[in-house]
Structure 1
Amino acid sequence: MSRNPGRTTLAAVAASAGVSVATVSKVLNGRPDVAPATRSLVQTLLLEQGYTPPTSHRDQPQATATVEMWVDDLCAYSTEVIKGTVEAGAELGVAVVVTYPKDLTDKGVSWARDLVAGGRRALITLMSVPTPHQLAALSLARLPVVVIDPLKLPEAPVTSVGSTNFAGGMAATQHLLGLGHRRIAYLGGPATSTTNQARMHGYRAAMEAAGVPVLDGYIRTSGFCYPDGMQEGAALLDLDPAPTAIFAAGDESAMGAIQAARARGLRIPEDLSVVGFDDTEIATMTSPQLTTVRQPLRQMGVIAVRTALRLAAGERIESHHVELATELVIRGTAAAA
């Protein structure tokens, strides 16, 4: 029986790479006993030659369609996004399985194929971007990936959903400038985070446009969580002169900065104005309620699910990056200087 000429075989890939079929099989199955350079070469050839595993979800018995969602940490922000993905899944008749992507760095094609065999139709990740090795394995298994709010720019083209972080950073800072503040500090997330950089650039752009200098030490980067806000907020308030307003790149870090201020006997907003970012549920759980920049977090989850399912169905999508509009929500933590 003649072999299908349109289908690449392991033997063909092995011949191109100058290795044995067993070595190619080891790469496919994520075995560790392959030299990194050989692994990289074989993965490249598998992709270039369009190798397709002999079984795929089209050949498997019909399983309940599910979408895998990777979440590094459960917090107010991620909870809102998860709600959006679950709601979209329920509407579309698709289950959403939330997992922690631990110890998956070295997983190979067999891992990706197991996801497909388990009914997975797509992978959605929140902030974290799969490694090139993972992306290669997922591509070979024909499992599409959508990233929500990627913390860093991926090394390979990946479909993503985010928000207008730069515009949101500008809006928050312009609001504080409009209230008469001139000593405005920025309390950001991880320095290498693309979302943090966009919000910080928005802050800087607003300050520059208003002709207001950013004083030494007025930009702090750490994380988006409550303890980060307490620590870095305290550092900002220890400066001389201390800021009269803080724009925090997350609601949780904004709450931490408020707590640091209250520990020093400062009143909010009389002595210190604070603006956050995200508009999670905790923004309305403090007194006074938090002025913040609203990200459409649930809608980001909805769009991620719909986009992932379109990719899984082989549809063409209009854009590989979607940005949803942010909106300033004025409440009670910012007042006139």
Structure 2
Amino acid sequence: MSATIKDIARKVGVAPSTVSRVLSGKSKYYTPETEKKVKQAVEELGYKKNQAAVELVKKQSNVIAAVVSSVKTNFAGEIIDGIQAEASKNGYNLIVVYSGSADTEEQKKALLTVIERPVMGVLLLSIALSEDNLKLLDESNTPYCFLSMGFDDDRPFVSSDDEIIGYTATKYLIEHGHRKIGLVGLDKYPYTGRLRTAGYTRALLENGITPKQSWLEYGDYSYVAGELAMKKFGKDTEITGVVAASDLTAIGILNQARNFGLRVPQDLSIISIDGTEMCKIVQPQLTSISQNFYEMGVIGVRQIEQRVKTLNKTFESQCLVPIKISERQSVFCIE
């Protein structure tokens, strides 16, 4: 029985995909030392490249990988639905890998899982990679695009305008008479949280309201973040309106407010960011800044496809998807 790529990989101590790349001459993906070891193993094992192996590698090049944050949010499903629909329409396959959002080692493991394979491209769903992992992704020469988060530089992404999201949500509450407005559940430093906080602050200042540090409670966009923030605000909080970082965060605020005996929206108005189905299955239904996550997934696949077809040449790689206000029942107008 003739030797296989797996036999060579086992002998050299590398992934089969690395052997495939050496045999295909894709020199950007391995070191000269690795190439030397692989070619030596090929000679020693008497490996003969066959057409079936070539076709297998070619088939794998139609695979798009989605790396998803393991933080408990509820919008990733809508993005994946968009990715899956657009991928299927174009004959691409999809694999999904989960990663800790802020854990550097988990991020690295997830990235290596996909970039060590000859995937067509990688879509990263709302994951703020560490500098080392961003470098790892760049050096892999694998086409990629971030979804539901943006960057200050020229990295490819598809997202909503986060500064406008923070501004629009806050202004909506101000237009309904609120002047003591909380901001809950955002991460403090990455791009998304920073821009939404900037939009929130701008809306307050434009309307003659001086923001207080006590009105801000940072978090990780989760249900627990909303619950804990409301506990810190307390039953007798001066805040009359809250901008929640996500639908789950908003529900955490809502439930804890009820535990305090507060009425929503009469005692506390809540506007949520995201606008997923979660907004409709609670009472009162949540008014929201709604993002088109499905469209983000669709555009993300097109970004990868365009990157591949243009052989990594420059093209418009950053896209902002419009938002809208979905009015429901969780905001009360103060006379």
- 2:11 corresponds in structure 1 to none
- 2:189 corresponds in structure 1 to 192
Q: 1:174: Cα distance to partner?
A: 1.2
- Could you tell me whether the CA contact under 8 Å between 1:76 and 1:280 is conserved in 2? yes
Secondary structure of the residue that 2:120 maps to in structure 1?
strand
Alpha carbons of 1:25 and 1:323: their partners in 2 closer, same or farther (altered >3 Å)?
farther
Q: 1:62: Cα distance to partner?
A: 2.3
- 1:115 corresponds in structure 2 to 117
Alpha carbons of 1:298 and 1:113: their partners in 2 closer, same or farther (altered >3 Å)?
closer
- 2:206 corresponds in structure 1 to 209
- 1:71 corresponds in structure 2 to 68
Alpha carbons of 1:93 and 1:222: their partners in 2 closer, same or farther (altered >3 Å)?
same
Out of 266, 284, 289, the position equivalent to 1:288 is 284
Aligned-partner Cα distance in 2 for 1:77–1:113 = 25
- 2:246 corresponds in structure 1 to 250
Alpha carbons of 1:22 and 1:105: their partners in 2 closer, same or farther (altered >3 Å)?
farther
Secondary structure of the residue that 1:246 maps to in structure 2?
strand
- 2:127 corresponds in structure 1 to 128
Shift >3 Å, 4+ stretches: 7-10, 21-26, 57-61, 101-114, 129-142, 315-318
Q: 1:123: Cα distance to partner?
A: 0.7
Q: 1:193: Cα distance to partner?
A: 2.5
- Could you tell me whether the CA contact under 8 Å between 2:68 and 2:125 is conserved in 1? yes
Unaligned runs of 5+ in 2: 1-24, 38-52
Alpha carbons of 1:311 and 1:181: their partners in 2 closer, same or farther (altered >3 Å)?
same
Given the two structures, how large is their TM-score scaled by the length of structure 2? 0.75
Aligned-partner Cα distance in 1 for 2:253–2:285 = 14
Counterpart code for 1:127: S
1:177 and 2:174 correspond: yes
Aligned-partner Cα distance in 2 for 1:25–1:261 = 65
Q: 1:207: Cα distance to partner?
A: 0.7
- 1:42 corresponds in structure 2 to none
Q: 1:231: Cα distance to partner?
A: 0.4
1:159 and 2:156 correspond: yes
| Aligned pairs, number | 287
Aligned-partner Cα distance in 2 for 1:92–1:247 = 39
Unaligned runs of 5+ in 1: 1-6, 15-20, 27-56
- 1:148 corresponds in structure 2 to 147
Q: 1:109: Cα distance to partner?
A: 11
Alpha carbons of 1:322 and 1:114: their partners in 2 closer, same or farther (altered >3 Å)?
same
Secondary structure of the residue that 2:117 maps to in structure 1?
helix
Alpha carbons of 1:114 and 1:58: their partners in 2 closer, same or farther (altered >3 Å)?
farther
Q: Residues 133-179 of structure 1, C-alpha deviation per residue, up to 9 Å, x if partnerless?
A: 5555555554211111337x58x853111101111211111111111
- Could you tell me whether the CA contact under 8 Å between 1:188 and 1:200 is conserved in 2? no
1:92 and 2:94 correspond: no
Q: 1:200: Cα distance to partner?
A: 1.3
1:265 and 2:297 correspond: no
Q: 1:203: Cα distance to partner?
A: 1.0
- 2:78 corresponds in structure 1 to 80
Q: 1:61: Cα distance to partner?
A: 4.2
Counterpart code for 1:122: G
- 2:13 corresponds in structure 1 to none
Q: Residues 64-90 of structure 1, C-alpha deviation per residue, up to 9 Å, x if partnerless?
A: 511011012253111121111111112
Identical-pair percentage:
22
Secondary structure of the residue that 2:325 maps to in structure 1?
strand
Counterpart code for 1:80: E
Counterpart code for 2:266: E
Aligned-partner Cα distance in 1 for 2:170–2:231 = 20
Counterpart code for 1:160: F
Counterpart code for 2:326: V
Name the structure with the higher helix share: 2
